[in-house]
Amino acid sequence: MIFEVLSAGLIISACLAIFLDEAVYSVAALAGTFMFTALLYLANGDIYVAIFQFAVGIGTLAVLFLSGEMLSEKPKQKTSLRSGLTVLVAGAVLSLFPIFLSIPVSIASGSGVSFGEALWDLRAPDIVLQGLVIMTVAIGIAIVLYDRRNGEH
């Protein structure tokens, strides 16, 4: 039952994120999508992925809220209650499909590699290189901000 409720919430919040007029409300609905996704992972027993989804989601949403505030223009007409309800109903109808339909998927049995082994023994070069990429992005942003501040003075 918990999976059905979470998947319905996921689809409804995704629909709201697309169809709500104001950018800030849209970002708030996207926050709901991230939360439901993380809860779905948690309910499925993928604890590490759920924690990462929470952490990444919070970071992305903080930046998105800021840029949403900066970029949003007031919409000419507000979202009516009727169109909001229509989106909710459409999301609820769409969420019936994963509950009642299924696609047969043949899954090969795994070799039983644990998360820690997979991350550090098999993908260690990726992790190191990705750390370098993220550090380069962070240094690049710091340099751009520093240059802009010097340019303003």
| Contact residues: other proteins, CB under 8 A | 3-4, 7, 10-11, 14-15, 17-18, 23, 26-27, 30, 33-34, 37, 40-41, 44-46, 48-49, 52-53, 56, 59-60, 63-64, 67-68, 70-73, 94-95, 97-99, 101-103, 105, 107-119, 122-123, 126-127, 130, 133-134, 137, 141
- As measured in angstroms, the least distance from the Cβ of 144 to other proteins is 8
Residue 119 is given by DSSP the state: I
Residue given tokens 């989106």 in the structure block: 87
| 81/133 with CB nearer other proteins | 133
Q: How far is the CB of 82 from other proteins (least distance, A)?
A: 20
| Residue nearer to other proteins on the CB measure, 80 or 130 | 130
Rounded Cα distance, 37 and 40, in Å: 5
As a whole number of angstroms, the distance between CA 52 and CA 91 comes to 26
- CA distances for 42 relative to 57, 59, 102, angstroms: 15, 19, 22
| Cα–Cα dist 33/151, whole Å | 40
Nearest distance, CB of residue 152 and other proteins, angstroms: 14
**CB-based contacts of 1: which residues, under 8 Å, 6+ apart?**
none
**Which is closer to other proteins, CB of 78 or CB of 123?**
123
